[in-house]
Structure 1
Amino acid sequence: MRATSPAESCHVMTSLELRASGARVFALRDETGSVQAVGALKPLSGDAVELKSMHTLSEARGRGFGRTILDRLLGEARSMGARRVFLETGSAPPFAAARALYERAGFALVPPFGDYVEDPLSVFMARDL
């Protein structure tokens, strides 16, 4: 993610930062045990969570892993008592597939949330659970 966005527009968190924020991190493995996709849920205020660090290996794309991990994250958010899920992703062409995945999953555009500010390189989305 850092390769496609300038530092001020890159909101990726390290695994240490994710854990310190209270986020729960999930990995999707294939039949060989190799991690193919990852994602995290970071608690926000009230009954909201943020989807963080969702990524599918480039060589694994097109096999449904992104949708599978997204569905798992949404299920986990429900089990945590969340009623709304937010996310930030890129606005540039390399993020088009991710934006399309989120739209198909019911996410819609929203203004910046939490500590985010307007940024032409960011797209903010949310959906109710």
Structure 2
Amino acid sequence: MEIKIDDLTSPEVAELVMDHLWSMAQLSPPESTHALNLDGLRKPEVTFWSVWEGEELVGCGAIKELDPHHGEIKSMKTSSKHLRKGVARKMLHYIIEEAIRRDYKRLSLETGSMVAFEPARKLYASFGFEYCKPFSDYVEDPNSVFMTKEI
């Protein structure tokens, strides 16, 4: 698998991001959906990566810089054809290594509290993320959980 910075212009990447947004809309009410659309992922404070296996897009992930020492994981998504193949684990490891390179002191995330998000929460916990209070502009929400990791 190859991970590379992506400019979000390929149709494959646009389709995967749209699939991510559609999935989030099915699982969370609008006020609890915090996934970024293509324009949000193109903002200067966001770095977006795509994960490829040969010519096939298998996943993606991003970091949003909250401040010079704190990043937020955004848009972790594995293509439905590549679930349970280690794509998310590899992307998460890469994001953590990038956060270390950037000299972040903390990496945080928001994800859903529902059963459908349990595999994601378990993955983050396996990398040392712990539950925390809302950070940045987030507020308490029964549909969200917040996790953080000191680096």
Query: Is the TM value for this pair above 0.5?
Result: yes
1:77 pairs, out of 86, 99, 123, with 99
Partner of 2:150 in structure 1? 128
Larger displacement relative to structure 2 (105-114 or 39-48): 39-48
Partner of 1:10 in structure 2? 33
Q: CA deviation at 1:23?
A: 0.4
**Counterpart of 2:142 in structure 1: which amino acid?**
P
Q: CA deviation at 1:77?
A: 1.1
Q: Could you say what the CA RMSD is over the residues aligned between the two structures, in angstroms?
A: 1.1
Partner of 1:36 in structure 2? 58
Query: What secondary structure sits across from 1:3 in the alignment?
Result: helix
CA distance, structure 1, for counterparts of residue 81 and residue 144 of structure 2 = 25
Partner of 1:50 in structure 2? 72
Query: What secondary structure sits across from 1:70 in the alignment?
Result: helix
Could you tell me the TM-score, scaled by structure 1's length? 0.94
Q: CA deviation at 1:81?
A: 1.6
More helix as a share of residues:
2
Is residue 23 of structure 1 aligned with residue 34 of structure 2?
A: no
Structure 1 gaps of 5+ residues are: none
CA distance, structure 1, for counterparts of residue 36 and residue 44 of structure 2 = 10
Could you tell me the TM-score, scaled by structure 2's length? 0.81
1:64 pairs, out of 86, 104, 111, with 86
CA distance, structure 2, for counterparts of residue 50 and residue 79 of structure 1 = 15
Q: CA deviation at 1:21?
A: 4.9
CA distance, structure 2, for counterparts of residue 91 and residue 58 of structure 1 = 21
* Cα deviation code 1:74-129 (max 9, x no counterpart): 11111112111000000111111000000001000000000000001101000011
Structure 2 gaps of 5+ residues are: 1-23
Count of paired positions: 128
